[in-house]
Amino acid sequence: MLKYPGIFLRAIRIHQWTKNLLVFVPLMLGHYWGETANILNSMLGFLSFSLMASGFYLINDVIDIEADRQHPRKRFRPIAAGQLPVRVAYILSLVLVGTAVLFGFFLGNDFLLVLGIYSGMALLYSNYLKKIELVDIAVLAGLYTLRIIAGATAIDVAISFWLAAFSVFIFFSLAMIKRYSELHNLQARQETHSVGRGYRTSDLPALSTMGVASGYIAVLILALYINDPNITQLYSNPAMLWMICPAVLFWITSLWFTAYRGEMDEDPIVFALKHRTSYGIAAISLTGLWLAL
């Protein structure tokens, strides 16, 4: 295994670790970035979630091995391609999950509880829930939100209602994009059903309607948060946060336009991290946050 580090890194999908940067959101939005202990705890939480997620990626790929071998892109994954034996994949997953739990012990019972809920949901998703339409999307959105909740428990702070609500709706929209893109690609190949999923290409209009609506609701929640009187406890000039609303609105609209055109990677989070527009939106949002302080 050590002779093929590239295969190992692809198998654990290390590029997906970027999703776990969500663990740092409570640290940043709560303005705790100047406290060394909280920074270290957030970093440990990031590692714990990343290792746990990688362990479940391996399990999921073993379960999906036959379906992946029929997929034009997923058939190149190390397990589906036969580059990583199933037995080795199971051993690696146990090591990764065990290490994640070990790191979690240093962050307290609340973090371990969130990590356990994440693990249970991920396991149920891999075996059952991903086959049920709409339920799979709700679970994916929940798994992203749990990363933010884990970040809050790592530094022992409460997650705000506004952040929780915003994250649920924005990630529901992104999960919808993921399913929409998969079905759009199926339609381009003149197929009608998604293997191992509960969707048909005829579901495309419904998915797009719900996905766009969810993304726009997230922007509305952000606007309501900015108008909350309590925001002055964190920001001296909260009006500057209004810069973020049109930026996020443009971003989510741009992602959906890309999906409509069939140009979206089947993982919208990874696509967004590679997309120039996302960096521009991030720059505008960070500028708004900085000016609001």
Contact 259, 181 (CB under 8 A): yes
What predicted TM-score, i.e. pTM, was given to this entire model? 0.89
| Same domain flag for 200 and 290 | yes
Query: Domain ends where: 159, 184, 200?
Result: 159
pLDDT in tens, 111-163: 999 999 999 998 898 788 888 889 999 999 999 999 999 999 999 999 999 99
Q: Name the DSSP letter for residue 200.
A: B
User: Can you say whether residue 228 is alpha, beta or left, with left for phi > 0 and alpha for psi between -120 and 50 degrees?
Assistant: beta
Neighbours of 288 (CB within 10 A): 19
CA distance 226 to 248: 14
Burial class (CB in 10 A: 0-12, 13-18, 19+), 233: exposed
CA distance 37 to 216: 36
Query: Domain ends where: 119, 139, 159?
Result: 159
pLDDT band with cut points at 50, 70 and 90 for residue 59 = confident
pLDDT tops 60 at residue 2: no
Residues 21-35: b if buried by 16+ CB within 10 A, e if exposed: bbbbbbbebbebeee
CATH code: domain of residue 148: 1.10.357.140
Of the chain, the percentage scoring pLDDT greater than 70 comes to 97
| Same domain flag for 37 and 139 | yes
Contact 98, 54 (CB under 8 A): no
| Same domain flag for 166 and 142 | no
pLDDT in tens, 156-181: 999 999 999 999 999 999 999 999 99
- The two counts, helices (H) then strands (E), for the chain are 12, 0
- The pLDDT score that the predictor gives to residue 208 is 95
| Same domain flag for 50 and 66 | yes
| Same domain flag for 9 and 154 | yes
- 196-211 mean pLDDT: 88
CA distance 138 to 218: 15
Average pLDDT over all residues of the chain: 89
| Same domain flag for 184 and 155 | no
| Same domain flag for 140 and 227 | no
| Same domain flag for 237 and 107 | no
Q: Which amino acid is at 229?
A: P
- The pLDDT score that the predictor gives to residue 195 is 65
| Same domain flag for 207 and 292 | yes
Query: Domain ends where: 159, 175, 192?
Result: 159
CA distance 293 to 285: 13
| Same domain flag for 235 and 99 | no
Q: How many domains does the chain have?
A: 2
pLDDT tops 50 at residue 1: no
Contact 93, 123 (CB under 8 A): no
| Same domain flag for 176 and 275 | yes
| Same domain flag for 131 and 250 | no
CA distance 180 to 206: 9
Which structural domain range is residue 1 located in?
1-159
pLDDT in tens, 14-35: 888 988 999 999 999 988 888 8
CA distance 292 to 6: 43
pLDDT band with cut points at 50, 70 and 90 for residue 252 = very high
pLDDT band with cut points at 50, 70 and 90 for residue 77 = confident
